[in-house]
Amino acid sequence: MAHFLERLGRLTRRRWLYIGAAVVVGGGLLLGMTRGGDKAGGDSLAEQSLVVQRAPFVVSANFSGRIAPGDRIDLIAPFEAAVLRLGFTYGEQVEAGQVLVELDPADVSRSRAEAESAWLKAEEEATKMENWDQGAEMRRASRAVTAAADELNDLETKLVETKALLDRGLVPRSEYDGLLQQRRQRQTGLIVAQEDRAETARRGQGGDRRIALLQRDVARSRYASVGGAEGAVIRAPEAGVIVRPDIGGEQGDKGAYAGGRVSKGQLLGVIASTGGLDVVFTLDEADLNAVTPGQKAVVTGPGFGGATLNGHVTGVAGEADTAPGAGKATFTARIRLDPLSQEATRNVRIGMTANIAVVAYENASAVTVPPEAVQGAAPQAWVMVRPKGGGAPHRRTISIGRVAPSAVEVLSGLRPGETVVWEVPTPSAP
């Protein structure tokens, strides 16, 4: 009896080394367990065994996020105006063609008048630039050149006559010198007039002309976009769920409301198609390399009515979202969900919390063993294998791959059909 207790004491000091992490998807592992051990004033060891089989093996990275619009249509205010009525409530389903916003017609008329005025001014300027060569400024500059040339020619004639009189001694030398000085002035005046005409002609070409034509096109486009009284009514272009604008963070924008004013270009809301929803989540720097576009993802949530949604990662932000005072950088990632069933469409709402499992590694036919069965550490990991004919288990060195919470991938050293055994402590009965 003493000899038996001594052997049992040695058994209670044995411990098996535990490793790593796990999800075995799809089953196929035949787990046999035999329990043994005598009660002897402490915990006993129970032997467990597993017949190794090939089965799908998946390692997932888990995150939390929220449902967000995927395929979306932005509703933009066409001009500044007061909101008379809203035909929707944020978060509800809208149909194609449904009236969403009615703006004040007086503001529409004023905006149209301002747009038309800007268009007419731009049209006048562009027409002037197109006919610049026959325009008033070019005619004025040409007249100045002609007048300067005529004055110079008249002075040249008078200078010739005065020179003849000077040679005969009929006029003083000072009179002739005065005419020479006037000729120099008239010559300078002609050069200035010619330069002014060239500068005026240049203004009708190149950049100035191009700017005037572009301004006319822009003004015409703005006038056309304002439209008439029908522009005061904004309708839903497609069916979907209308949500508040998400601008600059989780809280987004307050959106539009009856009695308030909207500015031109303001985002009034977003129509999200229920057939193209996304899941938005954040990654720490340590998880950044574990998530790449194209990876499969499984999404669940407390409000999904038990539904499990599938999708794939569509993108990871290339720039960090650094909040003021935050100690670490985070990156935004998106998952596009597969088309939802009718039941899931009723249950899944934009803004809901989502639990995300991104498939980081997948092997459709892997040999795996429980982490408790693996002893040592790579590259010297080993397991205990029982021979097929029975007998005492023997040690077998294995090469391990990925590790998950409940399974370890075995790359070599084990074959399907072999039995792996290990021992775990079990508490003694009171």
Question: What pLDDT, in 10s, does the model give residues 59-93?
Answer: 888 999 999 888 888 888 887 888 999 998 888 88
Q: For residue 314, is pLDDT > 80?
A: yes
What is the predicted pLDDT for the residue at 28? 33
What is the predicted pLDDT for the residue at 203? 80
Q: For residue 340, is pLDDT > 90?
A: no
What is the predicted pLDDT for the residue at 366? 92
What is the predicted pLDDT for the residue at 208? 80
Mean pLDDT of 232-255: 72
pTM as predicted: 0.53
What is the predicted pLDDT for the residue at 405? 85
Task: Tell me the average pLDDT of the chain.
Answer: 81
- Look-up: residue for tokens 């929220």? 66
The b-or-e profile of 390-409 (16+ CB within 10 A means b, else e) is: eeebeeeebebbbbbeebbb
Report the C-alpha gap between 50 and 32 in whole angstroms.
5
The residue type of 386 is: R
What is the predicted pLDDT for the residue at 91? 82
Domain positions in the chain: 14-61+365-426, 116-223
What is the predicted pLDDT for the residue at 132? 83
Q: For residue 299, is pLDDT > 80?
A: yes
What is the predicted pLDDT for the residue at 298? 93
Residue 10 pLDDT class (50, 70, 90 cuts): very low
Residue 230 pLDDT class (50, 70, 90 cuts): low
Task: Give SS3 for 185.
Answer: helix
Q: Measured between alpha carbons, how far is residue 234 from residues 92, 254, 268, 411 in Å?
A: 17, 18, 10, 62
Q: At what angle do helices 206-226 and 105-130 cross, to 10 degrees?
A: 160
How much of the chain exceeds pLDDT 70, in percent?
84
CA nearest neighbour of 313 among 331, 328, 298: 298
What is the predicted pLDDT for the residue at 231? 67
Q: Environment class of residue 65 by beta-carbon count within 10 Å: exposed (0-12), middle (13-18) or buried (19+)?
A: buried
The values of phi and psi at residue 39, to 5°, are: -80, 125
Mean pLDDT of 307-331: 83
Report the C-alpha gap between 26 and 70 in whole angstroms.
31
Tell me which range, 127-141, 394-408, 416-430, is most confidently predicted by mean pLDDT: 394-408
Report the C-alpha gap between 376 and 381 in whole angstroms.
5
Q: For residue 251, is pLDDT > 70?
A: no
What is the predicted pLDDT for the residue at 229? 61
Close Cβ partners of 245 (under 8 Å, ≥ 6 residues apart) = 74, 252, 253, 255, 267, 268, 269, 270
Q: For residue 21, is pLDDT > 90?
A: no
Residue 149 pLDDT class (50, 70, 90 cuts): very high
DSSP 63: E
What is the predicted pLDDT for the residue at 423? 87
What is the predicted pLDDT for the residue at 227? 61
Q: For residue 7, is pLDDT > 90?
A: no
By mean pLDDT, which of 185-189, 218-222, 371-375, 395-399 is the weakest? 218-222
Report the C-alpha gap between 280 and 401 in whole angstroms.
31
Residue 1 pLDDT class (50, 70, 90 cuts): very low
- Does domain 14-61+365-426 fall under CATH 2.40.420.20? My reply is yes
Q: For residue 280, is pLDDT > 90?
A: yes
CA-based max dimension of the chain: 164
Mean pLDDT of 332-356: 89
Mean pLDDT of 335-362: 88
- Look-up: residue for tokens 């500068």? 199
Structure tokens at 403: 């590790």
Structure tokens at 368: 């795996």
Mean pLDDT of 101-116: 84
What is the predicted pLDDT for the residue at 4? 32
What is the predicted pLDDT for the residue at 325? 60
What is the predicted pLDDT for the residue at 346? 81
